[in-house]
Structure 1
Amino acid sequence: MPATDQLPYTILQWWIQTHQNTQLRLTGPMVIAGMLCFIAAAVSCAGGIGGGGLFIPILTIVAGLDLKTASSFSAFMVTGGSMANVICYMFVKSSKTRGKSLIDYDIALLSQPCMLLGVSIGVICNLVFPEWLITILFGFFLAWSTFKTCKSGVVFWKLESEEGRRNRFGEELGSGLVRGGKDGDDSTNEPLLCRELENCNLGIPWVKLGVLVLVWFTFFLLYLLRGNRYGESIIPMEPCGVGYWVLSALQIPLALTFTTWILYRRESLQDQSSPEQEKGKPNALSFPVMALLAGLLGGVFGIGGGMLISPLLLQVGISPEVTAATCSFMVFFSATMSATQYLLLGMEHIYIALGFALICFSASLIGLKVVHSAVEKHGRASLIVFSVGTVMALSTVLITTFGALDVWRDYTSRRYMGFKTPC
Structure 2
Amino acid sequence: MRETSLPWCLGGDFNAVLWDHERTGLSNKREMEHFRQFVDDGSHIDLPLSGNKFTWCNNKEKVSFSRLNRFLMDVDMLGRFPTLRQHNKPKVSWDCPPNGWFKFNIDRAARDCLGHLSIGRVLRDDFGAVKLVFYKKAGWGDANLAEVLAVREAMILFAASSWVNSTSIIIESDSSKKELKFGWQIVVGTVIGFFGAAFGSVGGVGGGGIFVPMLTLIIGFDKKSSTAISKCMIMGAPASTVYYKLRQRHPRLDMPMIDYDLVLIIQPMLLLGISIGVTFNVIFPDWTVTILLILLCTGTSVKAYFKGVETRKRETVLKQVPVSVGINLYEANGLCKGWKVIASKGDEGTNWKGYQLVLCCACGMVAGIVGGLLGIGGGFAMGRLFLELGIPPPVTSATATFGMTCSSSMSVVEYYPLNRFPVPYALYFIVVSVIAALIGQHTVDKLIRLTGREPIIIFVLPFTIFVSAISLGGVGISGTIEKIEQNAYMGFENLCKYEG
TM-score tier, shorter chain, comes to 0.5 to 0.7
Whether 2:276 is the aligned partner of 1:121: answer: yes
Deviation at 1:411? 0.7
Q: Helix, strand or coil for the counterpart of 1:278?
A: coil
Partner of 2:205: 49
Deviation at 1:352? 1.7
The structure whose residues are more often helix, as a share, is 1
Map 1:28-47 → 2, pairs under 5 A: 28-47=184-203
Instruction: Specify the code of the residue in structure 1 equivalent to 2:411.
Output: S
Map 1:195-274 → 2, pairs under 5 A: 258-267=327-336, 270=339
Residues 1:353 and 1:270: Cα distance change in structure 2 (over 3 Å): same
Residues 1:365 and 1:288: Cα distance change in structure 2 (over 3 Å): farther
Partner of 2:474: 401
Pick the aligned partner of 1:342 from 415, 418, 424: 415
Pick the aligned partner of 1:85 from 241, 254, 259: 241
Give me the CA root mean square deviation.
2.9
Q: What is the distance in 1 between the residues matched to 2:215 and 2:206?
A: 15
Could you say which structure has the larger radius of gyration?
2
Whether 2:402 is the aligned partner of 1:326: answer: no
Q: Helix, strand or coil for the counterpart of 1:299?
A: helix
Partner of 1:163: none
Q: What is the distance in 2 between the residues matched to 1:87 and 1:289?
A: 32
Map 1:358-373 → 2, pairs under 5 A: 358-373=431-446
Deviation at 1:409? 0.4
* Equivalent pair of 1:110/1:288 in contact (CA under 8 Å): no
Partner of 1:278: 349
Q: What is the distance in 1 between the residues matched to 2:310 and 2:221?
A: 40
Q: What is the distance in 2 between the residues matched to 1:54 and 1:350?
A: 20
* Equivalent pair of 2:415/2:421 in contact (CA under 8 Å): no
Partner of 1:301: 374
Whether 2:448 is the aligned partner of 1:379: answer: no
Q: TM-score, normalised by structure 1?
A: 0.68
* Equivalent pair of 2:177/2:422 in contact (CA under 8 Å): no
Deviation at 1:305? 1.2
Q: Helix, strand or coil for the counterpart of 1:133?
A: helix
* Equivalent pair of 1:110/1:259 in contact (CA under 8 Å): yes
Deviation at 1:302? 1.5
Instruction: Specify the code of the residue in structure 1 equivalent to 2:288.
Output: L
Partner of 2:304: 149
Q: What is the distance in 2 between the residues matched to 1:271 and 1:36?
A: 42
Q: What is the distance in 2 between the residues matched to 1:119 and 1:314?
A: 20
Residue correspondences, number: 313
Deviation at 1:70? 0.7
Deviation at 1:413? 0.7
Q: TM-score, normalised by structure 2?
A: 0.58
Partner of 1:351: 424
Structure 1: gaps spanning 5 or more residues: 1-15, 161-176, 193-254
Pick the aligned partner of 1:134 from 273, 289, 301: 289
Q: What is the distance in 2 between the residues matched to 1:285 and 1:48?
A: 26
Q: What is the distance in 2 between the residues matched to 1:342 and 1:318?
A: 34
* Equivalent pair of 2:335/2:341 in contact (CA under 8 Å): no
| Larger RCO: 1 or 2 (CA < 8 Å, sep 6+) | 1
Residues 1:292 and 1:90: Cα distance change in structure 2 (over 3 Å): farther
Whether 2:171 is the aligned partner of 1:100: answer: no
Deviation at 1:347? 1.7
* Equivalent pair of 1:49/1:327 in contact (CA under 8 Å): yes
Deviation at 1:261? 3.6
Whether 2:226 is the aligned partner of 1:63: answer: no
Partner of 2:154: none
Deviation at 1:293? 2.0
Q: Helix, strand or coil for the counterpart of 2:206?
A: coil
Q: What is the distance in 2 between the residues matched to 1:70 and 1:389?
A: 24
* Equivalent pair of 1:93/1:102 in contact (CA under 8 Å): yes
* Equivalent pair of 1:118/1:296 in contact (CA under 8 Å): yes
Q: What is the distance in 2 between the residues matched to 1:146 and 1:136?
A: 15
Structure 2: gaps spanning 5 or more residues: 1-59, 61-175
Residues 1:287 and 1:37: Cα distance change in structure 2 (over 3 Å): farther
Residues 1:288 and 1:109: Cα distance change in structure 2 (over 3 Å): farther
Residues 1:315 and 1:271: Cα distance change in structure 2 (over 3 Å): closer
* Equivalent pair of 2:338/2:352 in contact (CA under 8 Å): no
Deviation at 1:289? 3.3
Deviations 1:106-136 (A, max 9, x none): 1110111111111111111111110000001
Deviation at 1:387? 0.6
Partner of 1:289: 362
Partner of 1:246: none
Residues 1:386 and 1:286: Cα distance change in structure 2 (over 3 Å): farther
Deviations 1:25-50 (A, max 9, x none): 32320232022101111111011111
Q: What is the distance in 2 between the residues matched to 1:343 and 1:23?
A: 15
Deviations 1:367-415 (A, max 9, x none): 0000111112111110000011110111111111110000000110111
Q: What is the distance in 2 between the residues matched to 1:61 and 1:353?
A: 17
Deviations 1:336-362 (A, max 9, x none): 222222124332302321221121111
Q: What is the distance in 2 between the residues matched to 1:126 and 1:103?
A: 32
